[in-house]
């Protein structure tokens, strides 16, 4: 794309991206005109540079623009920072392992299953993208912050399900009852997790840089760190952030 540069004499000089950084003679006065850098030329052309929001957040954390000095919950001045981990992408793992539970129903599957008994292979695709960033909170929001629900609801549910399947082999009502309990436990765990994630998402949404991250990775999962730290003085004092 051609860009027209102005010379001090009023002459016009048409350049293209390949000439970025060069000094070219003005067609009118023959004086040298400096062609701007490639980035500046593109900016003049209205080309917005695209950067991955992950790098953008890292740059903002380095420059001190992040974390914000306002509370993510209520916009009051913040006193605490809590580590927040955004899991953007996980490497996907493919495995040919067969869960042992199937042996319970079809012991003979063991002999039929092609490849069963062959060593399990696990392949990994892609890579993990995890962004660690503190979120800032005021005193009262920090005290009321949700804690990540433990996994024990899910563990108990799995145990009940397995126990239920086992019990079915001996006494059907007991087995069905246990499977029912497993289902209730799983629902309860799911609800707790959802409430927790919804609250975190609300906080996350108050920081514009993070909204970009969510656009790039719609399935991102948030985790909140356990211990809050008093907000660093360098972050609180604007004078220290200059330069
Ligand atoms: Zn000129
Ligand atoms: Zn607050």
Find the mean pLDDT for residues 213-229: 85
What 3-state class would DSSP assign to 13?
Answer: strand
**Separation of CA 2 and ligand 1 centre (Å):** 18
CA of 46 to the centre of ligand 1 (A): 25
CA 75 – ligand 2 centroid, Å = 6
What is the Å distance from ligand 2's center to 190 Cα? Answer: 27
Distance 31 CA to ligand 1 centre (A): 6
Say if residue 134's pLDDT is above 90.
no
Q: How far is the CA of 32 from the centre of ligand 1 (A)?
A: 8
Whether pLDDT at 1 is above 70:
no
What is the signed CA dihedral for 140, 146, 147, 153, rounded to 10 degrees? Answer: 150
pLDDT at 158: 92
Among 195, 194, 74, 191, which residue's Cα sits nearest to residue 138?
74
Q: Helix (H, G, I), strand (E, B), or coil: what is residue 57?
A: helix
Rounded to the nearest angstrom, the distance between the alpha carbon of 12 and the centre of ligand 1 is 7
Average pLDDT value for residue range 20-26: 86
For the segment 207-214, the average pLDDT, to the nearest whole number, is: 82
- Supply the ipTM of this predicted assembly: 0.51
Q: Which range is least confidently modeled, 58-72, 77-91, 93-107, 196-210? A: 93-107
- Model confidence band, residue 235 (pLDDT cutoffs 50, 70, 90): very low
Q: Which helix (H) or strand (E) holds 241?
A: helix 238-241
pLDDT tens digits for range 26-70: 988 988 888 888 778 777 777 666 677 888 888 888 888 888 888
Between residues 51 and 173, which one has the greater pLDDT?
A: 173
Element (H, E) at 231: none
Q: How far is the CA of 27 from the centre of ligand 1 (A)?
A: 7
Q: What pLDDT does residue 236 have?
A: 46
pLDDT of residue 112: 52
Q: Among the listed ranges 67-71, 116-120, 133-137, 184-188, which one has the minimum average pLDDT value?
A: 116-120
Residue 169 host element (H or E):
none
**High-pLDDT (> 90) share of the chain, %:** 16
Q: What is the rounded distance in angstroms from the CA atom of residue 61 to the CA atom of residue 132?
A: 10
Task: Name the E strands within the chain.
Answer: 3-6, 12-15, 23-25, 32-34, 80-89, 92-95, 122-125, 129-137, 221-224, 229-230
- Ligand in nearest proximity to the CA of 136: 2
């Amino acid at each position: 794309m051609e860009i027209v540069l102005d010379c001090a004499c009023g002459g016009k000089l048409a350049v293209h991206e390949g000439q970025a950084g060069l000094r070219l003679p003005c067609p009118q006065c023959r004086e040298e005109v400096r062609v701007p850098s490639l980035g500046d030329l593109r900016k003049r052309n209205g080309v917005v540079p695209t950067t991955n929001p992950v790098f953008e957040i890292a740059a903002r954390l380095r420059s001190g623009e992040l974390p914000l000095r306002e509370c993510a919950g209520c916009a009051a001045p913040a006193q605490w920072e809590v580590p927040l981990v955004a899991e953007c992408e996980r490497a996907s793992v493919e495995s040919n392992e067969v869960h042992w539970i199937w042996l319970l129903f079809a012991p003979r599957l063991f002999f039929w299953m092609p490849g069963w008994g062959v060593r399990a292979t696990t392949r990994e695709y892609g890579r993990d993208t995890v962004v660690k960033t503190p979120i800032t909170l005021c005193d009262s929001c920090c005290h009321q912050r949700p804690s990540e629900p433990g996994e024990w609801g899910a563990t108990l549910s799995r145990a009940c399900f397995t126990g239920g399947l086992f019990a079915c082999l001996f006494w059907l009502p007991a087995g069905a009852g246990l499977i029912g309990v497993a289902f209730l436990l799983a629902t309860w765990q799911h609800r707790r997790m959802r409430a927790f994630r919804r609250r975190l998402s609300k906080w996350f949404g108050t920081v514009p840089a993070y909204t970009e991250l969510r656009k790039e990775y719609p399935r991102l999962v948030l985790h909140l760190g356990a211990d809050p730290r008093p907000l660093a003085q360098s972050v609180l004092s604007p004078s220290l952030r200059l330069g």
